[in-house]
Amino acid sequence: MAHVNTLFMASSRKARLYGGMDADERRTERRLKLIDAAIEVYGEVGYPSATVKAICEAAELTERYFYESFANSEALLIAAYNHVVGHLHEEMTAAAAAAGHDAEARLHAALTLYFTRLKEHPKPARVFLLEISGISPAVDAVKLDAGRVFSDILVPPVLDAKHGDRGAAATLLSTGMVGAVISIALRWVSKQYPQTVEDVVAIAASFCRVALTEADRRRDLRLR
C-alpha cells in the first residue's frame, strides 16, 4: 500500500508544492490575477469588448486557467464586481461606524471615503461603480444588490418591528439617492475630477439628505 491514488487524498493532506505553493493556493492566486487583469481590461475597453484572450494576456496566464476558475466571461465579471464593490462597501461601513451616531456625520464620512477611493482608483471606478447593465439577469441582480447595500450604508434603514419591509416609497427614495450619487460619480470620474473631493461630497450629500428627510417625513405622516 505504498501507492495511494491521489483521488483519495483527503483535502486534509496537501498537494504537491510548486513555487512553494499548495495546489489550492496556486489556483487561488491565478484566480486573483485574473480578477485584477479583468478590472484592468474592463477599465480600458469596457466589458463588452473585453475578450477572454485579452484578459488572460493581461494576467499572464493562458486560457486554460481562465476556465479553471470561471465558467465563462460573465462569471468573471460578477466575481470582479463583487471583489471591488465588496471591498469598497466594507470600507464605507467602517468609515460610517467610526463617525459615530450622528446621521449627518456618518453620511459625510461614507461619501468622503467613496469619492476618495474613486479618485485613487479610476479604472475599477469607471467600470464597476457605474454601469454594468443589460448584460444578463444574473449580473443585473448583482448590481441591484450592490445598490441596496450602498443605500443602507449611506442611510441605514430604520429598524421597525411593525414595518419589516420599509415602505415602497422609501425604496424609491433609496433608489433615487443611489442613482444620483452614482451619476455624479460617473461624471466626476469621466471628466477627470474637476472638483475637489470635498465639493463633490457636499453635492452628493444634498441628494442623500433628501432621501433621509423625506423618508422621515413620510413615516411621521403614517404614524401620526
Q: Interface with DNA by CB under 7 A: which residues?
A: 6, 15-20, 23, 26, 49, 51-53, 60-65, 67, 72-73
Report the interhelical angle of 103-120 vs 197-223 (nearest 10°): 140
* Smallest distance from a copy of itself to CB 205, Å: 10
Rounded to a whole number of angstroms, the minimum distance from the CB of residue 178 to a copy of itself is: 7
> Site residues for a copy of itself, window 19-48 (CB under 8 A)?
46-48
Contacts of 125 (CB under 8 A, 6+ apart): 117, 118, 185, 189
Q: Assess 134 for contact with a copy of itself (CB under 8 A).
A: yes
Whole-number Å distance between alpha carbons of 193 and 115: 10
Measured CA to CA, the distance from residue 31 to residue 29 in angstroms comes to 5
Regarding 122 and contact with a copy of itself (CB under 8 A), the answer is no
Binding to a copy of itself by residue 158, rule CB under 8 A? no
* Distance in Å, CB of 62 to DNA, minimum: 4
Q: Counting contacts by CB under 8 A, is residue 74 touching a copy of itself?
A: no
Q: Could you tell me if 69 and 31 are in contact, meaning their C-beta atoms sit under 8 angstroms apart?
A: yes
Burial (Cβ within 10 Å: 0-12, 13-18, ≥19) of residue 51: exposed
For the CB of residue 210, give the shortest distance to a copy of itself in the complex, in Å: 5
- Separation CA 99–CA 103 (nearest Å): 9
Nearer Cβ to DNA (51/206): 51
Question: Residue 46: left (phi > 0), alpha (psi -120 to 50), or beta?
Answer: left
Which residues contribute to the site for a copy of itself (CB under 8 A)? Answer: 46-48, 130-135, 168-169, 171-173, 175-184, 186-188, 194-195, 199-200, 203-204, 206-207, 209-210, 214
